[in-house]
Chains A and B, each alone.
Chain A
Amino acid sequence: MVGGRDLLSRLGRLYLPLAGFVILGLFPFYWMLITSIKPNRELYSQKVMPLVVHQPTLKHYIDLLTETNFLTWTYNTLLVAVVTTVISVVLGTMIAYPLARMRFPGAAVVAIGVAATYLVPQPLLFIPMADIINRLELGNTLTAVMLTYPTLLIPFCAWLLMGYFKSVPRELEEAARIDGASRLQAMTRIVLPLCTPGLLSAGIFAFTLAQNEFLYALIFLAKSEVRTVPIGVVTELIRGDVFYWGQLMAGALLGSVPVAIIYSFFVDYYVAGLTAGSVKT
């Protein structure tokens, strides 16, 4: 059915620009991958064609896992991400629920306050925060980042969840309350289960953002054993000598894998979360 003309116009309007976006978007990942499996003699030669691998090797991965603290960093990153995600989704839910569904004195102030904390950028807070963490004697502990990441994530989760909570019809809750359910039961048994997609979105988003966090971890985690992957990779794998790129790219790639896996399972929830804030207003 598709004539040559149609195909040509579809090529220009769809396939060519699409290929451009995909290639530009994914090239750095391709580059990470092939760098990480190239032997050094290929990496640091001006003569070898660099776009493909001629003799693949796993040496960089083995070195990364045996000579550096990469596995410890991975463990730290995942532990911190899971703990902060749980804290943020729970506290975010507890903030969003009353704001979305209740009338009470002070609601407007809290709503504005939460929106404001969401928009306050980290650079405004990290210097005083460093002093506070020092005074609490939490330097070089994962507790320091577990306490500070949620400052970014709670307002985000609350914002995202408010939209979902508002969408549940009031009648459902009222029917439950007439049947004798308390407010807490109506929340945990009626409204929250109906908002499972929203809770999933918030959780996935919080989890990826927590793994992306950099500044607080850079400031608070100065010892190698407590570092997270991004900090470990940037501060320890970039060394003075030239020949570290294979290992560095192996680290960058492996460090991205947990996020990518979670993301691939829940892409739709992630996209829903991404667009909820801006499209649903």
Chain B
Amino acid sequence: MAVGPASIARPAPVAGRPVTLRGLLEREGVFSWLMLAPGVLFLLAFVAYPFFYGIFLSLEERRVATQGVFVGLANFRTLWHDAVFWQVTRNTFIYVAVTTVFKLAGGLGMALVMNQSFRGRNLVRAFLLLPFIVPTALSTVAWMWILDPTFSVVNWLLVHGGIVGSGYSWLGNASLAMWSLIVVNTWRGMPFYGITLLAGLQTISPDLYEAAAIDGATTTQRFLYVTLPVIKPVLVIVTMFSVIFTFGDFQLIYALTHGGPANATHVFSTWAFDIGMSAGQLGMGAAVALSILPALAALIVVLTFYLRRE
């Protein structure tokens, strides 16, 4: 790959000079690969190998502690004809799509509000990020209690505020459970959008707004034609990352609903866990997990292209 101009520091090969160990270590290629080797080997062993091993497992009928039998695409064929599989697919896409829209809209709002100057802004920013840094499983159990069927504080507020006559079963009703997950995920993920977009907003020079104001632009026009174009790259990248990570979300759903009631909130990761770990069908579980690969690969390709173009 050394096609660019060689760096000045590269030692020129001098005829007749003996190759010493030190001289060898000073070569860019040798030094670089020695540096890289431990990390790269680690990632090959614990990411690349499991990834390909997972593909291999998905082609087997295999239970825990037994020899696998190669079955080709039979696992995928079974899934294709399984109604639960399609429900899980739909759940995953709804979960990812709706939370992304909420987090994006809420995060943009948060960033715009925070982009005004006021006293104690850094402190507020630190507090707003708390939901994002606290271990998800722990904040999720707080939400479990907030949404408890009998003692939900949300229900208490709704009932005592005179808004409804009796409380809802937030986690027991199929569509409410999905909405509950969406709310909790939005609560956790929105600060990531908010703070990152805020950093993007802060790169906008005030001169641009002044120029726009002189030209008679309204607030909306300034947002559409100054703010948005400048933060668009940040917006796209943050969203893509968030979508990719939301696709892989596990602990929030596992802790809050366990995929229930009746599979209504199962996504690929929790369903793969139930099949692969709880029921011990490693092959089928691996097949379920791999089913997110096409959507994920498409996203990663789009992201890579975008990053290259920037």
Closest A residue, CB atoms, query B44: A113
A4 within 8 A of B: no
Indicate with 1 or 0, residue by residue over B278-310, a CB within 8 angstroms of chain A CB atoms. 000010011001101100100010011001001
Instruction: State whether A274 touches B36 (Cβ < 8 A).
Output: no
A31 within 8 A of B: yes
Q: Which of B78-86, B174-182, B239-247 contacts A (4 or more CB under 8 A)?
A: B239-247
Q: A121-B292, A256-B134 are in contact. Are A238 and B38 (CB under 8 A)?
A: no
Indicate with 1 or 0, residue by residue over B130-147, a CB within 8 angstroms of chain A CB atoms. 110111111101110110
- Give A216 to B69 CA distance when docked, in angstroms: 26
A198 within 8 A of B: no
Q: A177-B9, A271-B199, A279-B199 are in contact. Are A182 and B25 (CB under 8 A)?
A: yes
- Give A114 to B122 CA distance when docked, in angstroms: 33
Q: How large is the interface on A (under 10, 10 to 19, 20 to 34, 35 or more residues)?
A: 35 or more
Indicate with 1 or 0, residue by residue over A170-204, a CB within 8 angstroms of chain B CB atoms. 10011001000011100000000000000000000
- Contact partners of B145 in chain A: CB under 8 A: 31, 35, 245, 248-249
Q: Which of B31, B126, B135, B282 is close to A102, meaning CB atoms less than 8 Å apart?
A: B31
5 nearest A-B residue pairs (beta carbon):
A121-B248, A123-B269, A98-B32, A230-B137, A214-B251
Instruction: State whether A26 touches B127 (Cβ < 8 A).
Output: yes
Instruction: State whether B136 touches A214 (Cβ < 8 A).
Output: yes
Instruction: State whether A270 touches B133 (Cβ < 8 A).
Output: yes
- Contact partners of A105 in chain B: CB under 8 A: 1-2, 29
- Contact partners of B290 in chain A: CB under 8 A: 124
Indicate with 1 or 0, residue by residue over A226-253, a CB within 8 angstroms of chain B CB atoms. 0001110110001000100100110111
- Contact partners of A150 in chain B: CB under 8 A: 42, 46
- Give A256 to B276 CA distance when docked, in angstroms: 30
B192 within 8 A of A: yes
Q: How large is the interface on B (under 10, 10 to 19, 20 to 34, 35 or more residues)?
A: 35 or more
B39 within 8 A of A: yes
Which of B135, B237, B238 has the most C-beta atoms of chain A within 10 angstroms of its own C-beta?
A: B135
- Contact partners of B150 in chain A: CB under 8 A: 242
- Give A249 to B255 CA distance when docked, in angstroms: 14
Q: A119-B244, A274-B196 are in contact. Are A252 and B141 (CB under 8 A)?
A: yes
Instruction: State whether B134 touches A260 (Cβ < 8 A).
Output: yes
Q: Give the shortest distance, in Å, between A69 (CB) and chain B (any CB).
A: 16
Instruction: State whether B127 touches A215 (Cβ < 8 A).
Output: no
Instruction: State whether A104 touches B138 (Cβ < 8 A).
Output: no
A211 within 8 A of B: yes
Instruction: State whether A28 touches B293 (Cβ < 8 A).
Output: no
Residues of chain B from 249 to 266 with CB closer than 8 A to chain A in the complex = 250-251, 254-255
- Give A215 to B276 CA distance when docked, in angstroms: 13
A206 within 8 A of B: no
- Give A272 to B95 CA distance when docked, in angstroms: 29
Chosen A-B contacts, 7 in total, with CB atoms closer than 8 Å, are A13-B113, A95-B36, A102-B28, A119-B303, A121-B245, A233-B138, A274-B129
Instruction: State whether A113 touches B138 (Cβ < 8 A).
Output: no
Closest A residue, CB atoms, query B121: A18
Closest B residue, CB atoms, query A174: B9
Instruction: State whether B39 touches A125 (Cβ < 8 A).
Output: no
B73 within 8 A of A: no
Q: Which of B54, B133, B196 is close to A127, meaning CB atoms less than 8 Å apart?
A: B54
B224 within 8 A of A: no
- Excluding A104-B29, A234-B254, A245-B148, 11 further A-B contacts by CB distance (< 8 Å) are A21-B113, A51-B153, A115-B304, A126-B272, A128-B57, A129-B46, A212-B137, A214-B255, A230-B135, A259-B134, A274-B192
Closest A residue, CB atoms, query B148: A245
Residues of chain B from 11 to 37 with CB closer than 8 A to chain A in the complex = 22, 25-26, 28-29, 31-33, 35-36
Closest A residue, CB atoms, query B268: A123
